[in-house]
């Protein structure tokens, strides 16, 4: 049996083994379904079989080995796979490992079948190499684009509080006997400095997760209702014009990291205020058996369906609505914190119902720290 026929006959077996390996490469906090792990593997294999069926001269084979093949039959599947993995936070090395695993799985199963067609094996390797090259090129382009966009937006966001600090310092340097004014200026400087500190902390968290780590959590007994009450006071102080309501029900005590959980509440409510279009924001906390559920709702413009799958990634909205501000790190960090607690976070959004982010947290850890 030719290798191309073998791949057609063993599609499912190859993809199952590929998905098992791909799950070991999944970044912390990326909750990928089985379908998402298999995503584009079928297309890649189908494109490989089609490429192997094409007649090819020696000169064409040489051109293809140099990346100048005329057919470019692997381009689309390779690029799609790279785009998908970038959105789910895979690293450059992880994508390379996936292609190595796909190649090894096919060749091992083919060898175990007792069939050997070296010409087919050579054509298969050429096709996989072409798809891998396309994925790596796409990965490099998208990563560079994301980095430049990230730096540009960061520069924009830092300029505002830095400008406030500079202006405030200049005012304090002027002779002024008005204690109330000096106190107000000092307060503005402090708020701006704290805002910059939060942005730097968020960047460190994002970098830590992107490098394959998990958000560290220090569990201790926590009353979630008390935590939400305290978070509401802080949010209302910082956003006095926003209408934010808290609804709590049931036994909301558990073992969590209170500082990190407060960060989740602050990020979700802050996101709801920012994108809620001035509509009231509701934070609901309720007991759900051995878990608790946190839900943050706003009635503002809904999230476009094409953005929803990537809403927990930095700059997700900016990629689609051309915004030039807001790094959008809050949701990414919130997901990483929830994942570190063994929970999950979901989003639903529609024009009629508004947008709701729902966090489910087990009350106790199911695994050792």
Task: Supply the DSSP symbol for 283.
Answer: E
- Higher local confidence (pLDDT), 153 or 247: 247
The pLDDT tens digits of the residues spanning 175-201 come to 777 788 888 888 878 877 877 877 777
Instruction: Please determine, for residue 319, whether its predicted confidence score (pLDDT) is greater than 50.
Output: no
Domain positions in the chain are: 3-146, 154-210, 220-362
Instruction: Please determine, for residue 211, whether its predicted confidence score (pLDDT) is greater than 60.
Output: no
pTM: 0.59
Q: Which of 12-26, 78-92, 183-197 has the lowest mean pLDDT?
A: 78-92
Give 126's pLDDT tier (boundaries 50, 70, 90): confident
Give 149's pLDDT tier (boundaries 50, 70, 90): low
Residue-wise over 350-364: b if at least 16 C-beta within 10 A, else e? Answer: eeeebbbbbbbbbbe
Written as six digits, the tokens of 252 are 């909301």
CATH architecture of residue range(s) 220-362: 2-Layer Sandwich (3.30)
Instruction: Please determine, for residue 156, whether its predicted confidence score (pLDDT) is greater than 50.
Output: yes
pLDDT of residue 313: 74
- Higher local confidence (pLDDT), 141 or 324: 141
Task: For Cα atoms 204, 207, 208, give the angle at the middle one, nearest 5 degrees.
Answer: 85
Q: Which residues pair with 353 in a beta bridge?
A: none
Residue 285 CA: distances (Å) to CA of 232, 235, 288, 295: 13, 16, 10, 7
pLDDT of residue 27: 62
pLDDT of residue 164: 79
E strands of the chain, at which residues? 220-223, 244-249, 253-256, 281-288, 291-298, 344-350, 354-362
CATH architecture of residue range(s) 3-146: Orthogonal Bundle (1.10)
Which three-class secondary structure state does DSSP give residue 284?
A: strand
Measured CA to CA, the distance from residue 103 to residue 97 in angstroms comes to 10
Number of Cβ within 10 Å of residue 192's Cβ equals 19
Q: What is the mean pLDDT of residues 357-368?
A: 82
């Amino acid at each position: 049996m030719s290798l191309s026929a073998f791949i057609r006959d063993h599609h499912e077996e190859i993809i199952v083994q590929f998905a098992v390996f791909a799950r070991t490469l999944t970044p912390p906090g990326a909750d990928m379904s089985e379908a998402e792990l298999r995503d584009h593997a079928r297309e890649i294999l189908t494109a490989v079989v089609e490429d192997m069926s094409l007649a090819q001269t020696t000169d064409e084979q040489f051109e293809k080995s140099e990346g100048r093949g005329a057919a470019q039959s692997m381009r689309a599947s390779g690029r799609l796979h790279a785009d998908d993995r970038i959105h789910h936070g895979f690293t450059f090395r992880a994508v390379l490992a996936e292609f190595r695993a796909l190649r090894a799985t096919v060749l091992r199963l083919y060898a175990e079948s007792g069939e050997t067609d070296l010409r087919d094996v050579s054509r298969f390797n050429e096709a996989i190499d072409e798809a891998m090259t396309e994925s790596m090129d796409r990965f490099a382009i998208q990563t560079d684009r994301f980095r430049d966009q990230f730096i540009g937006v960061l520069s924009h966001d830092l300029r505002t509080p830095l400008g406030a600090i500079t202006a405030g310092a200049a005012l304090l340097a002027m002779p002024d006997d008005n204690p109330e004014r000096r106190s107000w200026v000092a307060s503005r400087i402090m708020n701006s400095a704290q805002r910059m500190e939060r942005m730097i902390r968020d960047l460190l968290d994002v970098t830590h997760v992107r490098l394959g780590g998990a958000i560290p959590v220090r569990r201790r007994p926590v009353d979630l209702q008390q935590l939400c009450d305290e978070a509401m006071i802080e949010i209302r102080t910082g956003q006095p014009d926003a209408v934010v309501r808290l609804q709590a029900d049931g036994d909301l005590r558990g073992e969590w990291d209170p500082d990190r959980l407060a960060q989740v509440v602050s990020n979700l409510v802050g996101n709801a205020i920012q994108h809620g279009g001035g509509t009231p924001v509701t934070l609901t906390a309720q007991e759900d058996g051995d878990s608790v559920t946190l839900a943050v709702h706003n009635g503002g413009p809904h999230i476009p369906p094409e953005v929803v799958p990537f809403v927990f990634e930095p700059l997700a909205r900016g990629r689609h609505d051309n915004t030039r501000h807001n790094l959008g790190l809050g949701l990414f960090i919130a997901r990483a914190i929830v994942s570190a607690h063994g929970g999950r976070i979901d989003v639903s959004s529609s024009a009629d119902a508004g947008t709701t982010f729902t966090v489910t947290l087990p009350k106790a850890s199911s695994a050792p720290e």
